[in-house]
Structures are given as C-alpha cells and as structure tokens.
Amino acid sequence: MTDYVKAWQCIGCGKIEAPQPCIGVCEDRKVQFVYAYEYEEALAQTQRAQQAAQSIATVLRRMASTTPRDGEWERSYRALQQQARQALAAFAEGAAEDRGSERR
C-alpha cells in the first residue's frame, strides 16, 4: 500500500512542512500533494469502476459466446437481458455512491 507522511499545514497560508533532519543541501521546490482522504476516495471509486467493468464484461462475454438451441433463442435472450440489467443496476449504484461522496 501507500506510505503516508505526517506533515504540518499552516491554517493561514496553507504551507505544508514535514520536518526532517537536514544534511545541509536543502532546496525548496514546488511539489503537488493530495490529501490522504481524497486519495482513498479516488482509489475506492476506481475499484468500484473496475468491478462494474468486470461485471459488464462478463455479461458481454456470455452474450458473445452463447449460441441458443433451436427454438430457445428468446429464453436465452431474456436470461442475458436480466444479467445485463443486474450489471447495469450495480454500475448505477456505484455511480450514485461516487456522486454522493463527491458532495461531502
């Protein structure tokens, strides 16, 4: 997993500082940081999106590799349709959770 560095942030200007032992060659440079909670939130959203993509890909693989028996195409089609609805519902639920967490 990711290593986190504890640092101090000024409540006035926002400067971030993580004191370390100086060896005499220090030089300030601009860097970019993200807050740990934002990183964790983005990671969770990515994992949900990957799970949804896998679920949808499973339905598509089934659809692409299934050949119904003679006279059974409608039953096969309806079963695949139901699986697709379930995958889409899970995807929509994850998207709603993502929108909810963005508002916090």
pLDDT at 30: 80
Does residue 15 form part of some domain? no
Structural domain boundaries enclosing 95: 35-103
Please state, in angstroms and as integers, the Cα–Cα distance from residue 60 to each residue in 23, 82, 92, following that order.
Answer: 58, 12, 17
CB under 8 Å to 97, separation ≥6 — which residues? 48
Q: Summarize pLDDT for 62-78 with one digit per residue, the tens.
A: 888 888 888 888 988 89
Does residue 21 form part of some domain? no
pLDDT, average across residues 7-16: 85
pLDDT at 104: 58
Q: Provide the whole-model pTM.
A: 0.63
Number of domains in the chain: 1
As a whole number, the mean pLDDT across the chain is: 84
Lowest mean pLDDT among 11-20, 48-57, 81-90: 11-20
